[in-house]
Amino acid sequence: MSTPDRARRGRPRGEVRLTIALWLAIVATMVPLLRVVHSGGWLPGAAVLAAVLLAVGFALRRARRVPAIAVTLVEIVVWVAAVTAVFLPSAALLRVIPTAETLRAGTDLVRDAGQQILEGVAPLAATAALGFVIVAALGLLTIALDHVVLTARMPLLAAVALVIVWLIPAIAVPAGVDVVAFVVLAAAILYLIRAETRTRETTAARAGGVTAVAVTIGVVAIVGAVIGGPALPPPTASAGGSGVAASIDPSLDLGDDLRQPGDVAVLTFRSDAPQLPNLRVATLSLFDGDVWQPDRPRSVELTDAGLDPVTAGDGIRIAEYHTNVDVAQLSSAYLPVPYPAVTVTGLEGDWRAVPYSRTLLTGQSNAQGQRYEVVSQAPQPTLEQIRAASARLDDTAVDVTAVPADTPAVVGDTARTVTAGAETDYDRLVALQSWFRGPEFTYSLDTPVVEGFDGAGVEAVAAFLDRKEGYCVHFAGAFALMARTLGMPSRIVVGFLPGKFTGDTVDGQRVAEVTTGQLHAWPEGYFEGVGWVAFEPTKSLGTPTRFASATDPAGASGDDVTAPTTAPTASATPTTAPEERPDAGGDASAVTARGIDLRPLAGIVLAMLVIGAAPGLAGGARRRV
């Protein structure tokens, strides 16, 4: 045997292919992070760093006499130097050698990133602190997987780690199945396993159909996850409180949740208020023309000074109510509370209050299993007082009057037409509310999807105003944007409607049950001396806003606004007549399941089968020749 042949035998075969396969698998795990953090420099930075570290490991292994531990140590040195040079050059010696100051600066970045994660709402802005944490963590993951795959030759163990990392963003920000991201990850892992197998198998084994088996397993796994996942029934909660907890995403992406074929009881509550209140989770004030984003003002520790008492203008009465909430099946970092909350007692864990929106959130605890009492103080202006108040908010941490430059003219024109006869800001908003709840509009979960405007952007609002069919997201988004075109502050609230009474009583108060079907969005307008006032434009849902006159307490506030009742809303599903919702059958409150369209999935399966079979067919043709 010649010397070159012995040299080739001393080195593992397929190192280049295996290194590339590992890099592709690591990059595939980064895709779900985009639902947690906006894209930015961290994405290409992490991919390049992973490539550099794997290239260093590959080069050292080619030297043959470098021990495995030395390869890992050199990779760690390169990782430290790269992270320091990119994120902490000013605190390092020669811009790459870390010092004590570098360590302190790195610790500050980690602390800042943790604070942003605690106080922010996904997707977070791609700040330097978050970029540092993500790039550094993925670099360490690359070093560990390089040792597991290239040195220990254990690709299945690496696959487990990759899947776990890939699932973390999905757990942190619950959403629908990302089919593309899942297919990319599955293909990358299958390629990684196949690349490692090829370094050990003989030519005969290669011809024995290992590729076909791997492709078949991959196709079955992907098809099973894609088809079986959406087909599984939603979690259900038993009367005893056991079962799988539901979750809530504090955004306007409620369509998929409301279209689920089942309902999960998430909490029960009672209140001494004359009408059971909505329970808010988050407020959305930032609007860029495409999506409404949750507020990101400061949060403070939930102490006696966390939420200040409510104040109102001269002569406006403030009523105080007590609401007791028992969360049974809601896994959330956001706490459902009535508005405006001033004190919350009975909570377990570390909770923070957002004074601007009077909402509560946590970074370490969970709403699941919490029992707490909320004291709220609600201004009670008369009709004359609210009409005398101007819809204006000068001092605020969030711009609640901004109208995107690309807003279609029809939005403002329609708002001015609908409110042409109103003389006060309050009457204008009531006119908008009455118009949306009038006979021109229809509640529909399916029309926005079919017509292609299932969103809250300016184009979706224009399409909704033309089609006049949609659900709470469209009614609330259109109302808030139209109010801003009239120069009035507005925002959107995401939370729950009051639910329905269970028949139980506690301390003389009737208990209501809230389910995932009561997920809801509604707009608010701000009035000087009164504060934020909720409106209910969604057709046939909730109770429209109404203030009684001081001279005629039983009178209506104008037009066709319905007087509120003392009973909570029966369901988050509209109570319109069956002919307005043909899919409701004889029960207008029923939620029907939609069939799964298998045509896109069949196309994916066919494409994968063709791609997977192509190498085998080509090899067979070559052997025949």
Q: Which of 537, 525, 473, 536 has the alpha carbon at shortest distance from 278?
A: 536
Q: Which of 407, 419, 392, 434 has the alpha carbon at shortest distance from 525?
A: 392
- The pTM of this model reads 0.58
344, part of any domain: yes
**Beta bridge mates, 321:** 376
Angle between helices 15-30 and 179-198 in degrees, nearest 10: 160
Q: pLDDT tens, 451-474?
A: 877 777 899 999 999 999 988 889
Rounded distance between C-alpha atoms, residue 524 and residue 476, angstroms: 9
* Amino acid 301: pLDDT: 80
* Amino acid 269: pLDDT: 93
Res. 444: pLDDT tops 70: yes
Rounded distance between C-alpha atoms, residue 458 and residue 437, angstroms: 21
170 with 306, same domain: the answer is no
193 with 267, same domain: the answer is no
CA distances from 120 to 124, 170, 296, 365, 456 (A): 6, 17, 6, 15, 21
Rounded distance between C-alpha atoms, residue 119 and residue 333, angstroms: 10
- pLDDT confidence bin for 569, thresholds 50/70/90: very low
* Amino acid 337: pLDDT: 93
317 with 391, same domain: the answer is yes
Average pLDDT for the chain: 76
Residue with tokens 């570390």: 350
Contact assessment for residue 482 and residue 419, using Cβ atoms and an 8 Å cutoff:
no
Contact assessment for residue 383 and residue 397, using Cβ atoms and an 8 Å cutoff:
no
383 with 520, same domain: the answer is yes
Eight-state DSSP code of residue 37: B
Cβ neighbours of 174 (radius 10 Å):
14
- The two structure tokens encoding residue 55: 């290239």
- List CB contacts of 429: < 8 A, sequence separation 6 or more: 391, 483, 488, 525, 535, 545
What value does the mean pLDDT take over residues 386-410? 86
Q: Where are the alpha helices (DSSP H) in 567-598?
A: none
**Beta bridge mates, 531:** 527
Structural domain ending residue among the three candidates 132, 166, 200: 200
Q: pLDDT tens, 535-547?
A: 999 988 888 988 8
* Amino acid 484: pLDDT: 94
524, part of any domain: yes
Of the spans 105-109, 383-387, 599-603, which averages the highest pLDDT? Answer: 383-387
Contact assessment for residue 460 and residue 422, using Cβ atoms and an 8 Å cutoff:
no
Of the spans 31-40, 68-77, 158-167, 578-587, which averages the highest pLDDT? Answer: 68-77
* Helix, strand, coil share of the chain (percent; to 5): 45, 15, 40
Contact assessment for residue 13 and residue 56, using Cβ atoms and an 8 Å cutoff:
no
What value does the mean pLDDT take over residues 50-76? 87
412 with 519, same domain: the answer is yes
- pLDDT confidence bin for 559, thresholds 50/70/90: very low
Res. 499: pLDDT tops 60: yes
What value does the mean pLDDT take over residues 26-43? 84
- The two structure tokens encoding residue 452: 């292609």
369, part of any domain: yes
Rounded distance between C-alpha atoms, residue 369 and residue 353, angstroms: 19
What value does the mean pLDDT take over residues 177-182? 74
Structural domain ending residue among the three candidates 133, 165, 200: 200
What value does the mean pLDDT take over residues 479-497? 93
170 HSE (CA, 13 A, CB side): 15
306 with 396, same domain: the answer is yes
- pLDDT confidence bin for 491, thresholds 50/70/90: very high
Res. 618: pLDDT tops 80: no
- List CB contacts of 312: < 8 A, sequence separation 6 or more: 318, 379, 381, 529, 530, 531
**Beta bridge mates, 373:** 324, 345
613, part of any domain: no
- The two structure tokens encoding residue 113: 């990133």
389 with 527, same domain: the answer is yes
- The two structure tokens encoding residue 212: 């076909």
* Amino acid 598: pLDDT: 44
* Amino acid 613: pLDDT: 54
Of the spans 244-253, 290-299, 406-415, which averages the highest pLDDT? Answer: 406-415
584, part of any domain: no
- pLDDT confidence bin for 372, thresholds 50/70/90: very high
82 with 177, same domain: the answer is yes
217, part of any domain: no
Q: Between 302 and 431, whose confidence is greater?
A: 431
* Amino acid 65: pLDDT: 73
236, part of any domain: no
Rounded distance between C-alpha atoms, residue 21 and residue 37, angstroms: 25
pLDDT above 70 coverage of the chain, percent: 72
Rounded distance between C-alpha atoms, residue 340 and residue 351, angstroms: 17
Q: Which of 58, 63, 55 has the alpha carbon at shortest distance from 7?
A: 63
Q: Which of 43, 454, 460 has the alpha carbon at shortest distance from 257?
A: 454
Contact assessment for residue 539 and residue 436, using Cβ atoms and an 8 Å cutoff:
yes
Angle made by CA atoms 552, 558, 559, in degrees to the nearest 5: 140
* Amino acid 623: pLDDT: 63
Res. 211: pLDDT tops 60: no
What value does the mean pLDDT take over residues 133-146? 90
Rounded distance between C-alpha atoms, residue 284 and residue 490, angstroms: 9
Number of structural domains (the chain) is 2
Q: Which of 216, 225, 162 has the alpha carbon at shortest distance from 189?
A: 162
CA distances from 509 to 241, 324, 378, 444, 571 (A): 21, 10, 19, 34, 20
CA distances from 342 to 139, 309, 312, 447, 494 (A): 45, 6, 14, 40, 19
Contact assessment for residue 465 and residue 410, using Cβ atoms and an 8 Å cutoff:
yes
Q: pLDDT tens, 221-244?
A: 444 444 444 433 333 333 233 344
Rounded distance between C-alpha atoms, residue 335 and residue 352, angstroms: 10
Judged by DSSP in three states, 522 sits in strand
Q: pLDDT tens, 281-298?
A: 889 888 888 888 888 767
Structural domain ending residue among the three candidates 200, 218, 239: 200
Sign of the dihedral defined by the CA atoms of residues 470, 441, 491, 291, in that order: positive
Of the spans 121-125, 148-152, 173-177, which averages the highest pLDDT? Answer: 148-152
405 with 302, same domain: the answer is yes
Rounded distance between C-alpha atoms, residue 109 and residue 133, angstroms: 8
- The two structure tokens encoding residue 102: 């570098």
269 with 159, same domain: the answer is no
Rounded distance between C-alpha atoms, residue 368 and residue 88, angstroms: 40
H or E element in which residue 330 lies: none
- The type of residue at 444 is S
194 with 284, same domain: the answer is no
Q: Exposure pattern of 567-587 as b/e (b: 16+ CB <10 Å)?
A: ebbebbbbbbeeebbeebeee
Q: pLDDT tens, 298-348?
A: 778 877 566 888 888 889 999 999 999 999 888 788 899 999 999 999 888
* Amino acid 76: pLDDT: 92
Judged by DSSP in three states, 364 sits in coil
* Amino acid 330: pLDDT: 81
H or E element in which residue 620 lies: helix 599-624
For residue 342, give its domain range: 255-562+570-575
Q: Between 279 and 578, whose confidence is greater?
A: 279
195 with 268, same domain: the answer is no
310, part of any domain: yes
Contact assessment for residue 102 and residue 80, using Cβ atoms and an 8 Å cutoff:
no
Rounded distance between C-alpha atoms, residue 543 and residue 440, angstroms: 18
Whether a cis peptide bond, with omega within 30° of 0, leads into 123 is yes
Res. 596: pLDDT tops 50: no
Rounded distance between C-alpha atoms, residue 541 and residue 581, angstroms: 14
Distance between start and end Cα atoms, the chain: 32
- pLDDT confidence bin for 582, thresholds 50/70/90: very low
- The two structure tokens encoding residue 442: 């229809």
Rounded distance between C-alpha atoms, residue 579 and residue 402, angstroms: 39
